[in-house]
Amino acid sequence: PAPSPWVTVHLDTTPAEANLYRQDSFVGITPIVLEIERGDQPIQYMLRKPGFVDRPLLITPDDDISHTIELLADANEPEPEPPAPVVQKVAEKREPPAPKPAPKVEKPKETPKPKAEKPKETPKPKATKPKETTKPKNDDSKPVKILNPFDF
């Protein structure tokens, strides 16, 4: 039987989770399984991980392979700090926190309203002397003169 047109390449690194690039294009993160077209020309890859020296890698895809590559710490970079341990706290019974007071909302300052002009007062008519009126008497029909008390 003819060999498969594809080869399987298993790549792992120590430490794991290195970035794998081919011609500056990101391929994936180790550990990774690649299906590469069978051939006799080497393909150049680059392994990169912060705090470690970049590691070039040549793979000739003429057969299925499995590799674990040791990455070397970069002497020029400080060692990456180990992740902080995860501490799980046991849930305690607590009373719910007191509600927060509502934020104070400042009322916008009212701009003074323009004063409405008072309507012009119409001049009051000048007091005039009351006219003399006559009134018939009860006992006879002679007119009686009524005087204005302000005339004195």
Instruction: Report how far apart, in Å, the C-alpha atoms of 41 and of each of 55, 62, 132 are.
Output: 20, 8, 139
Residue 137 has pLDDT above 50, yes or no: no
Name every residue whose Cβ is closer than 8 Å to that of residue 41 and which is 6 or more positions away in sequence. 60
First to last CA, the chain: 150
Apex 58 CA angle, 52 and 59, nearest 5:
120
Instruction: Please write the tens of the pLDDT for every residue from 80-134.
Output: 566 666 655 555 555 556 666 666 666 656 666 656 566 566 666 565 555 554 5
Side-chain half-sphere exposure of 40, counting CA atoms within 13 A? 0
Confirm if 135 and 144 have CB atoms less than 8 A apart.
Answer: yes
* pTM for the predicted model, two decimal places: 0.50
Q: Cα separation of 51 and 71, whole Å?
A: 10
Residue carrying structure tokens 């793979």: 59
Instruction: Please write the tens of the pLDDT for every residue from 3-23.
Output: 889 999 999 999 999 999 998
pLDDT at 75 (0 to 100): 82
Q: What percent of the chain has pLDDT over 70?
A: 50
Residue 50 has pLDDT above 90, yes or no: yes
